[in-house]
Amino acid sequence: MVIVGERLNSSRKPVLEALEKKDENYLQEEALKQEQAGASFIDLNAAALLDKEVEALKWAIPLLQEKLSVPLSIDTPSPKAMEEGLKAHQGRALLNSLSGEKEKIKSLLPLIKEYKPSVIILCLDEKGLPKSPEYALSIASRMVDLLVKEGLDIDDIFIDPLVHPVSIEPDAALFFLESLRRIKERMPGAKTIAGLSNISFGLPQRRLMNRIFLSVALLNGLDAAILDPLDTKLLRAISAAETLLNQEPSL
């Protein structure tokens, strides 16, 4: 299980304030705690700063890399911010994320070719969210073929079939799991990833829901998750599920 630590997200008020005030200690400590808990990547999202996002990434990325031994996941919808983030990052970052939309491909593919980051692919294109697991698979297959053709190793590609809240779509978990299963069957070399906490949005007992969903997703081929690595019960659930599946516990 590859863990992408989700806590440095500007949608969280303390993180937004730390980015605005350039609170070096808070940001470095928050990142280090996630690495020490087992995160393989630390996600950094400064999008809530809007027109100050680029400036924040250019400042925060070198700051965080002073302390971290794991790479950052640069999480932004802005191609300009992504470019500046990749430029500021030492070594290979994780690009979060690339969809199958033509404009996204046009703006981000040159950056992928230049900086060679690992890449999260979203199963999403101009038609919107896939209406069937088979269509999610078709987007994933098309995007993997494109990135491999451009020189990216399949081991550096993470496919996200997109988790939706079951509070809004009652079959969301089943849809995700079936998409996941088909992707792993057809493209066993590619990794799969999920934004875990989306599944429980709007529900009580969210952490319990997340733990159960993650365990079931592991059974269906999930390789990575964007989650809170400081949630010790969740991490214990990962280790327990890996043990039951006869996998080497990753934590």
Provide the CATH number for the domain around residue 149. Answer: 3.20.20.20
**Residue 248 pLDDT:** 83
At 63-117, the pLDDT tens digits run: 999 999 999 999 999 999 999 999 999 999 999 999 999 999 999 999 999 999 9
**Residue 38 pLDDT:** 96
Q: Supply 61's token pair.
A: 């990325």
Q: Pairing between strand 157-160 and 41-45?
A: unpaired
Q: How far is CA 178 from CA 138, 185, 249, in A?
A: 13, 11, 24
Q: Which portions of the chain are predicted below pLDDT 70?
A: none
- What's the chain's Rg over C-alpha atoms? 17
Domain count, the chain: 1
Is pTM beyond 0.85 here? yes
Residue 196 lies in a domain: yes
Residue 68 lies in a domain: yes
Residue 137 lies in a domain: yes
Residue 42 lies in a domain: yes
Residue 163 lies in a domain: yes
What's the rounded Cα separation, in Å, for the pair 68 and 81? 21
**Residue 250 pLDDT:** 79
Residue 249 lies in a domain: no
Range of 23's domain? 2-244
What's the rounded Cα separation, in Å, for the pair 26 and 22? 9
Residue 218 lies in a domain: yes
**Residue 39 pLDDT:** 98
121 close to 97: Cβ distance less than 8 angstroms: yes
H-helix segments, the chain: 13-21, 24-36, 53-65, 79-88, 102-115, 133-149, 172-186, 206-219, 232-244
**Residue 82 pLDDT:** 98
What's the rounded Cα separation, in Å, for the pair 9 and 151? 30
227 close to 210: Cβ distance less than 8 angstroms: yes
**Residue 251 pLDDT:** 73
Would you report the helix, strand and coil content of the chain in percent, each value rounded to 5? Answer: 55, 15, 30
CB atoms within 10 A of CB 168: 9
- Bridge partners, 96 (sequence order): 75, 120
Residue 250 lies in a domain: no
**Residue 246 pLDDT:** 93
118 close to 157: Cβ distance less than 8 angstroms: yes
